[in-house]
Amino acid sequence: MSAPSEHDYPGQRLGLPREGRGSIARPGRRIAALLIDVVSAGLVGFAFFSTPDPVTGVPFANPIAANVIFFAVQILFIPLIGGSPGHRLMGMRLELASGGWVGLWRPIVRTVLLALIIPAVVWDADQRGLHDKIVGTVLVRT
């Protein structure tokens, strides 16, 4: 395998276009989608699972509930609509690197790896996080 040259672009080795529909989703979109999903899970967790502080009476969020909601949204929505709500709002779709539907087990493994954080911040030349590379998926623009 040759080293990437200056003329290569993310996704070229996967047969994806340089830009536009079907091209690799860039980091800005992916980070924005993650923030949408995390904030949404936190708000739902706060709205439905917050408890008042015994001393002050001020409600505080249950972080376990927010994490469970985040995981459930990732695992359910990726196979159903091709991505999390954040992915879809930011114009992205999760596919197999070879094209097609991700199936049922990949979203589970991908989400567990995403929770470990490190696989999500380690990228290859195609700007795929380790969590996507391990399960054979790629985030593309729609």
Contact partners, residue 120, CB within 8 Å, separation at least 6: 113, 114, 129, 130, 131
Whether 4 has a pLDDT exceeding 80, the answer reads no
DSSP string, 62-91: -HHHHHHHHHHHHHHHHHHHSS-HHHHHTT
pLDDT band at 8 (very low <50, low <70, confident <90, very high): confident
Whether 142 has a pLDDT exceeding 90, the answer reads yes
What confidence score (pLDDT) does residue 64 get? 93
Average pLDDT over every residue of 92-119: 92
* Helix (H), strand (E) at residue 99: none
Instruction: Dig out the tokens for 140 from the structure.
Output: 């593309």
Q: What is the DSSP letter of 19?
A: S
What confidence score (pLDDT) does residue 92 get? 97
What confidence score (pLDDT) does residue 117 get? 87
What confidence score (pLDDT) does residue 118 get? 84
pLDDT band at 121 (very low <50, low <70, confident <90, very high): confident
Distance in angstroms (rounded) separating the CA atoms of residues 133 and 10 = 13
0.85 exceeded by pTM:
yes
Ranges of each domain in the chain? 24-141
Instruction: Dig out the tokens for 133 from the structure.
Output: 């590379």
- Tell me the per-residue pLDDT of 46-69, one tens digit each, with 9 for 90 and over: 999 998 888 888 888 888 999 999
Instruction: Work out the number of other CB atoms within 10 angstroms of the CB of residue 59.
Output: 13
Q: What is the DSSP letter of 26?
A: P
Distance in angstroms (rounded) separating the CA atoms of residues 81 and 94 = 9
Instruction: Dig out the tokens for 91 from the structure.
Output: 């114009």
